[in-house]
Amino acid sequence: MASLNALILVCLLYVALLFGVAFLADRAALQGRSGKWMKSPLIYTLSLSIYCTGWTFYGAVGYAARSGLEFATIYLGPTLIMISWWWGLRKLVRVGRSQRITSIADLLSARYGKSNALAICITLLAVVSTTPYIALQLQSITLSFEIFADADPTSGFSEQNTVFWVACGLAAFAILFGTRNLNANERHHGVVTAVALEAVVKLVALLAVGIFVVWGIAGGVEATLAQIDASAIGAWQVMPGRWTTTLFLAAAAFICLPRMFQVMVVENVDERHLKLASWAFPLYLLLISLFVVPIAAVGLHVLPDGANPDLFVLAIPMHQGQDALAMLVFLGGFSSATSMVIVAAMALSTMMSNHIVMPYWLRYRSSRVSVSGDVRNVVLIARRLSIAAIMGLGYLYYVLSGGGTALATIGLVAFAGVSQLLPALVGGLFWRGATRNGALAGITIGFVIWVYSLLLPALGDGLLPADVMEQGPWGVGWLRPQALFGLHSLDPIVHAAFWSLGSNTLIFCLVSLMSFPSPIERLQGAQFVHVFEHSTGPRGWTGSVAQAEDLMVMSQRILGASEAQAFFDDERNRQGVRGGLPEPTPGFLERLERELSASIGAAAAHAMIGQIVGGSSVSVEDLMAVADETAQILEYSSKLETQSTELADTARQLRDSNEKLTQISAQKDAFLSQVSHELRTPMTSIRAFSEILRDVEQMQEADQKRYAAIIHDESLRLTRLLDDILDLSVLEHGQVQLNLRSVVLADVLTRAQATALTGIAQPIDVKRDGDREEIKLFTDADRLAQVFINIITNAQKYCDAEKPVLKISVMHTTDWIHIDFIDNGKGIDKEQSQLVFEKFSRIRPENAGGAGLGLAICREVMQRLNGEIEYFAHTTGSCFRVSVPIHQEI
Ligand code: ADP
């Protein structure tokens, strides 16, 4: 029996061989001398075999042992696509080449207006559906190791360790050959060649086991057929629902799986290769599946009960003591699993770095440093880290799920997951009306339903509690994961595929029909749908020396003189050219394009270089992309413009308020000096007369009384002044308590008149308006009276007519009452009439009785009462108009 050590040695040698092949192929491609064989369609066809993973290599037999011929759908799906839909594939490949597509996420995002949201969404979907699949591969390698280990008790085999080292080794391989260099078209000759070699190994291994089983164990074709008939497989009944669904899922996954897209579209060097592949790949699938049923039937027959059917392929040769064959089978399984993991990790890492890491890195970086610099290293690091992260996820998933049965169903589950891309993909290729919103909505809804109805239930216990599975979340029956909307008679896979793909397609179509595509989306749509009319072939620049100067001038304009000079000098050194300008080699032009695109956007950079080197004329698409970018820049600059206007506005407001503050401060100073002045006058006379009273010893009584009266008057004046100032300050600071009630205007006027004129020797003759005053107001009567008193007092004081008369007339509109106080004096000069409401304003101080605060207080009071006080020059004298709102709402 082969020891585990021998197995590991063979395994390492095999890996070394793969490394060697990959390395040689990569080197040959790099030196541009890839031989005929490397470009042959056979390599392409063989590389498609990464479709057959460890799951198909080992699992197909297990599948057949459990569910009979249903396993064949896994092979029939791709066969159908290859034979009947190869023209569709050709379109896909052509689009991929003409648009320089790097992944399926890139393809869909390019089709739907270069939408990064869509790309991120697809990348997440791809990672979620591929991670368990990678774990499944790790499991198949580990299980096959374990079989050997079981036969070799001295091995000291540890499952956990093995998985870990296998994952590390695969990550190293993918990093080494998947990210060795960045190529504009993302081709990895080394990996593809190694994958092709692995395709041969797995085919040979399965065929060898098959032949051994049929002729070595069963004893010929007829005997084998008899054994099949006798086994459970012979009694297998077709289940049309499941059969159709798995067939459809396999066909869909064949196009949508990120790794399949990688080898079929991204790595395709020549679309004519599809011709051979269209019949040779189905043939490959036929050969690889040819012996699945015999192996399953014979395995069930010869192996002890309870043997894991997933490992029959390996267990039969081991059981029969065929060490060399077992070793070959092991390598076959190893090949299937490794090639899948490597290509999947490469494809996913491209998506992750291009659509998630790089956009965020660029955004973060551009906000801190200048926009130039070689992003190549960053991309490589991002890719490598992404590969490590993906392998890490696969490993983690394996450890957390504990391997075993939970993984067995994952293959089909993953197929259903990636199939969610199908509507958007096919729609994008054939329907110009398909829109980004439609794709995004469809994929999201399909993804969510798939996770809920298939992935979570498939991942085993605990993820969805038993009562959710049986009764639905919160007891809502129609939300049961495997019986959505009460559809409970279906097989879980059929059920999930029906709901997820059905709603995905429906929503995709409906939203597409309802939303309007952006111009770039429409153009891309046309480019995709009519790719054969539009495609231009691969875009590689080639320039002549004469154009180097033009390129230099253009770069100087865009990058700035010194930066452009440095970039060109650097390139010249790289090329080893002495003096002058570097040669515009394709590599240099590509670097220059990238450098320029950092400053002016990818589309504009591409168009400008295209103009100069003339390798391709500027297409409508290029122009649209430029326009799109320009629109973005315009939008950005208009935003800046609005911001700067806003800033200017704020500055102006600040300036205004600053001026106001200065004015207020000046007013305050003036006010203080006025107040102190007003206070000083009465204070001085009070002091003077009180000193006389104190110091003059013999004073006549009459004098004493006179002086005391003066002191009394002055202190009254002082008190009045202080009262006024206090009142004004209370009013100005809005601290007044209004006492609103319903009053009759006539009463207020009568009270004011009485207060103002009682005790006056010759009171002014007041003429009232009689009935018109009988009107109700809702206001603060005391405050209103205060205003009236002030006006009447002023008329009394300042009306210089021989026979002073004050006419109080009342008018009202629907909302307002106007009360005019018109006297027959000289009035106030026009230029001074606006000043009378200012504090301390006295037009004629000589006959002043007050400090000039009265009207200022009136104005404040009226403001509080929501009314107004104005001055009009009247034919007969002055006219003060007080306006009060009738419907007071304070
Ligand atoms: P004062 O305390 O001086 O009365 P006011 O603010 O009440 O202060 O009045 C300001 C100035 O307006 C008065 O000094 C006076 O010169 C002028 N004034 C007010 N009412 C009249 C009027 N009816 N006729 C002429 N001048 C008036």
Which of the two residues, 358 and 261, has the higher pLDDT score?
Answer: 261
- Whether 851 lines ligand 1, by a CB cut-off of 6 Å, is yes
| pLDDT tens by residue, 444-497 | 999 999 988 888 887 766 567 777 777 777 777 677 777 777 777 778 888 889
Using pLDDT thresholds of 50, 70 and 90, give the confidence band for residue 359. Answer: confident
Best mutation site among 728, 836, 862 for ligand 1 pocket (most ligand atoms within 8 Å of CB): 836
**C-alpha 660 – ligand 1 centre gap (Å):** 27
**C-alpha 808 – ligand 1 centre gap (Å):** 17
- Whether 848 lines ligand 1, by a CB cut-off of 6 Å, is yes
Q: Phi and psi dihedrals of 812, rounded to 5?
A: -140, 145
- Whether 577 lines ligand 1, by a CB cut-off of 6 Å, is no
Q: Residue whose CA is closest, atom 11 of ligand 1?
A: 842
- Whether 787 lines ligand 1, by a CB cut-off of 6 Å, is no
- Whether 841 lines ligand 1, by a CB cut-off of 6 Å, is yes
For the cut 70, the answer to whether the pLDDT of residue 718 exceeds it is yes
Which of the two residues, 551 and 446, has the higher pLDDT score?
Answer: 446
Using pLDDT thresholds of 50, 70 and 90, give the confidence band for residue 787. Answer: very high
Give the CA distances from residue 769 to residues 182, 419, 784, 810, 819, in Å, rounded to whole numbers and listed in that order.
99, 93, 18, 6, 10
**C-alpha 737 – ligand 1 centre gap (Å):** 27
Element (H, E) at 818: strand 816-823
869 Cβ contact list (under 8 Å, min separation 6) = 787, 837, 855, 858, 859, 862, 880, 881, 882, 883
- Whether 836 lines ligand 1, by a CB cut-off of 6 Å, is yes
**C-alpha 833 – ligand 1 centre gap (Å):** 10
- Whether 801 lines ligand 1, by a CB cut-off of 6 Å, is no
Sign, CA torsion 716/717/719/724? positive
pLDDT at 171: 86
pLDDT above 90 covers a percentage of the chain that reads 22
**C-alpha 711 – ligand 1 centre gap (Å):** 25
pLDDT at 732: 83
Of 442-446, 546-550, 873-877, give the lowest mean pLDDT range: 546-550
- Whether 427 lines ligand 1, by a CB cut-off of 6 Å, is no
- Whether 265 lines ligand 1, by a CB cut-off of 6 Å, is no
pLDDT at 861: 93
Longest dimension (CA), the chain: 160
Q: Within 13 Å and on the Cβ side, how many CA atoms surround 405? A: 3
Best mutation site among 786, 855, 880 for ligand 1 pocket (most ligand atoms within 8 Å of CB): 855
**C-alpha 875 – ligand 1 centre gap (Å):** 18
Instruction: Point out the ligand 1 atom lying closest to the alpha carbon of residue 793.
Output: 4
Of 460-474, 700-714, 719-733, give the lowest mean pLDDT range: 460-474
- Whether 804 lines ligand 1, by a CB cut-off of 6 Å, is no
For the cut 80, the answer to whether the pLDDT of residue 408 exceeds it is no
- Whether 721 lines ligand 1, by a CB cut-off of 6 Å, is no
Strand ranges, E, within 536-689? none
71 Cβ contact list (under 8 Å, min separation 6) = 60, 63, 64, 289, 292
Using pLDDT thresholds of 50, 70 and 90, give the confidence band for residue 804. Answer: very high
Contact 559, 153 (CB under 8 A): no
pLDDT at 370: 40
DSSP state of 543: -
- Whether 132 lines ligand 1, by a CB cut-off of 6 Å, is no
Q: Phi and psi dihedrals of 370, rounded to 5?
A: -70, 165
Most confidently modeled of 368-377, 448-457, 546-555? 448-457
Q: Tally Cβ neighbours within 10 Å of residue 259.
A: 26
839 Cβ contact list (under 8 Å, min separation 6) = 671, 674, 728, 852, 853, 856
For the cut 90, the answer to whether the pLDDT of residue 54 exceeds it is no
For the cut 50, the answer to whether the pLDDT of residue 369 exceeds it is no
179 Cβ contact list (under 8 Å, min separation 6) = 346, 349, 380, 383, 384, 387
- Whether 728 lines ligand 1, by a CB cut-off of 6 Å, is no
Using pLDDT thresholds of 50, 70 and 90, give the confidence band for residue 609. Answer: confident
Sign, CA torsion 655/660/663/665? negative
Q: Residue whose CA is closest, atom 16 of ligand 1?
A: 843
- Whether 844 lines ligand 1, by a CB cut-off of 6 Å, is yes
Q: Cα 531 to chain center, whole Å?
A: 30
Using pLDDT thresholds of 50, 70 and 90, give the confidence band for residue 381. Answer: confident
d(CA 130, CA 349): 12
Of 98-107, 499-508, 860-869, give the lowest mean pLDDT range: 98-107
Strand pairing of 741-744 and 776-779? antiparallel
pLDDT at 380: 80
Determine the length of the chain.
890
pLDDT at 223: 85
Most confidently modeled of 151-160, 174-183, 295-304? 295-304
Using pLDDT thresholds of 50, 70 and 90, give the confidence band for residue 625. Answer: low
- Whether 823 lines ligand 1, by a CB cut-off of 6 Å, is yes
Where do the H-state alpha helices sit in 733-832? Answer: 745-757, 781-798
For the cut 80, the answer to whether the pLDDT of residue 722 exceeds it is yes
Q: Residue whose CA is closest, atom 1 of ligand 1?
A: 852
Which of the two residues, 636 and 722, has the higher pLDDT score?
Answer: 722
Tokens of 667: 């007013």
Q: Residue whose CA is closest, atom 8 of ligand 1?
A: 852
pLDDT at 480: 77
Q: Number of helices (H) and strands (E), helices first, in the chain?
A: 36, 7
Domain-wise residue ranges, the chain: 4-37+47-154+161-413, 538-623, 664-732, 740-885
| pLDDT tens by residue, 446-458 | 999 998 888 888 7
- Whether 828 lines ligand 1, by a CB cut-off of 6 Å, is yes
Using pLDDT thresholds of 50, 70 and 90, give the confidence band for residue 890. Answer: very low
Crossing angle between the packed helical segments 376-401 and 159-178, to the nearest 10 degrees = 160
For the cut 60, the answer to whether the pLDDT of residue 534 exceeds it is no
Bridge partners, 881 (sequence order): 820, 870
Phi-psi domain of 474 (left: phi exceeds 0; alpha: psi -120 through 50; beta: other): left
Q: Residue whose CA is closest, atom 7 of ligand 1?
A: 854
What is the average per-residue pLDDT within 348-357?
85
Q: Phi and psi dihedrals of 70, rounded to 5?
A: -60, -30
Contact 160, 399 (CB under 8 A): yes
d(CA 379, CA 376): 5
**C-alpha 836 – ligand 1 centre gap (Å):** 7
pLDDT at 32: 58
Tokens of 302: 């010869």
d(CA 560, CA 588): 18
- Whether 843 lines ligand 1, by a CB cut-off of 6 Å, is yes
The secondary structure of 252-276 as a DSSP string is HHHHH-HHHHIIIIIS-S-TTHHHH
Q: Residue whose CA is closest, atom 23 of ligand 1?
A: 795
Instruction: Point out the ligand 1 atom lying closest to the alpha carbon of residue 795.
Output: 23
pLDDT at 240: 79
pLDDT at 184: 45
- Whether 824 lines ligand 1, by a CB cut-off of 6 Å, is no
What is the average per-residue pLDDT within 260-281?
88
Structure pTM? 0.60
113 Cβ contact list (under 8 Å, min separation 6) = 436, 517, 518, 520, 521, 524
Using pLDDT thresholds of 50, 70 and 90, give the confidence band for residue 538. Answer: very low
Which of the two residues, 666 and 409, has the higher pLDDT score?
Answer: 666
Q: Provide the mean pLDDT of the chain.
A: 82
**C-alpha 794 – ligand 1 centre gap (Å):** 6
Best mutation site among 674, 764, 798 for ligand 1 pocket (most ligand atoms within 8 Å of CB): 798
Q: Residue whose CA is closest, atom 14 of ligand 1?
A: 842
**C-alpha 741 – ligand 1 centre gap (Å):** 30
- Whether 795 lines ligand 1, by a CB cut-off of 6 Å, is yes
Element (H, E) at 527: helix 519-529
Instruction: Point out the ligand 1 atom lying closest to the alpha carbon of residue 848.
Output: 3
Q: Within 13 Å and on the Cβ side, how many CA atoms surround 196? A: 24
| pLDDT tens by residue, 241-259 | 888 999 999 999 999 999 9
| pLDDT tens by residue, 831-859 | 778 788 888 777 765 555 677 888 999 99
For the cut 70, the answer to whether the pLDDT of residue 300 exceeds it is yes
**C-alpha 762 – ligand 1 centre gap (Å):** 19
In 3D space, the residue among 405, 336, 337, 394 whose CA is nearest the CA of residue 164 turns out to be: 394
Using pLDDT thresholds of 50, 70 and 90, give the confidence band for residue 41. Answer: confident
Q: Residue whose CA is closest, atom 27 of ligand 1?
A: 798
455 Cβ contact list (under 8 Å, min separation 6) = 128, 129, 413, 417
End-to-end CA separation in angstroms for the chain:
104
pLDDT at 667: 74
| Structure-token match 């059969």, residue found | 243
- Which CATH architecture best describes the domain 740-885? 2-Layer Sandwich (3.30)
- Whether 855 lines ligand 1, by a CB cut-off of 6 Å, is yes
**C-alpha 798 – ligand 1 centre gap (Å):** 7
What is the average per-residue pLDDT within 287-308?
86
Q: Residue whose CA is closest, atom 4 of ligand 1?
A: 850
Best mutation site among 842, 846, 876 for ligand 1 pocket (most ligand atoms within 8 Å of CB): 842
**C-alpha 664 – ligand 1 centre gap (Å):** 24
State the amino acid at position 884 in one-letter form: V
State the amino acid at position 489 in one-letter form: S
Specify the CATH class of 4-37+47-154+161-413 in words: mainly alpha
CATH number of 664-732: 1.10.287.130
**C-alpha 715 – ligand 1 centre gap (Å):** 22
